[in-house]
Amino acid sequence: GASMGGFAALVFSALVPGANVIAFSPQSTLITDRVPWEQRFAKGREFDWSLPYSDGAECIKTAAKVYVVYDPYEPQDTAHADRLTGDNVIPLRAIGFGHRSALFLRRLDVLKPVMGEGIIGMLDPARFAGMIRNRGSVYLYKQQMENYMRRRGRDVWVPKLQRAFRNRRKRLEAGRAQ
């Protein structure tokens, strides 16, 4: 699942011991005391988070493998991913994906292989990194990296990124035309 769907995949894995979980940019919980830094998802935070299955970090203990796809450049997503610990947790860093990691994987045309390998428990960080190697050819990546650079006060790098992206696209188009 992705985002709150990722939360659902985490918490409901407790109902299926031995399950493999694939969570894209998941929230671990919206319990204010546990994630005081989380200011997104206002509608979700309005609900009662004192009920069972309210914290994904507590519910993943019986899962076989928990693949957590997240962008380490997104502070809140990283903080949620950091709460998910255990020998069964496999963090998959998706730099430049933002909070829309599943959408990004679909645009790269690797969502199905990621899901397939995750479902059977064969996905690993090195394989995942290979699958997303071409992320620089996706326009969404350029947008995410531009935003990241601006947030970090590195506006001077934005035109360089834009030129590199244009040049890469031209090379890819020239390669396809031959």
pLDDT digit string (tens) for 94-112? Answer: 998 988 889 989 999 999 9
Q: Could you give the percent of the chain with pLDDT greater than 70?
A: 98
Are the C-beta atoms of 48 and 31 separated by less than 8 Å?
A: no
Q: Name the range with the highest mean pLDDT among 66-70, 72-76, 153-157, 170-174.
A: 66-70
Residue range 56-76: average pLDDT?
95
Which residues, in sequence order, are bridge partners of residue 68?
23, 91
Q: Name the range with the highest mean pLDDT among 113-127, 133-147, 160-174.
A: 113-127
Q: What is the mean pLDDT of the chain?
A: 90
- The rounded distance, in Å, linking the Cα atoms of 39 and 174 is 45
Are the C-beta atoms of 13 and 66 separated by less than 8 Å?
A: yes
Structure confidence by residue, pLDDT tens digits, 20-46: 999 999 999 998 899 899 888 888 888
Long-range contact set of residues 160-164: C-beta below 8 Å, sequence gap at least 24: 164/136
- Taking the chain, what is the end-to-end CA distance rounded to the nearest angstrom? 39
pTM for this predicted structure: 0.86
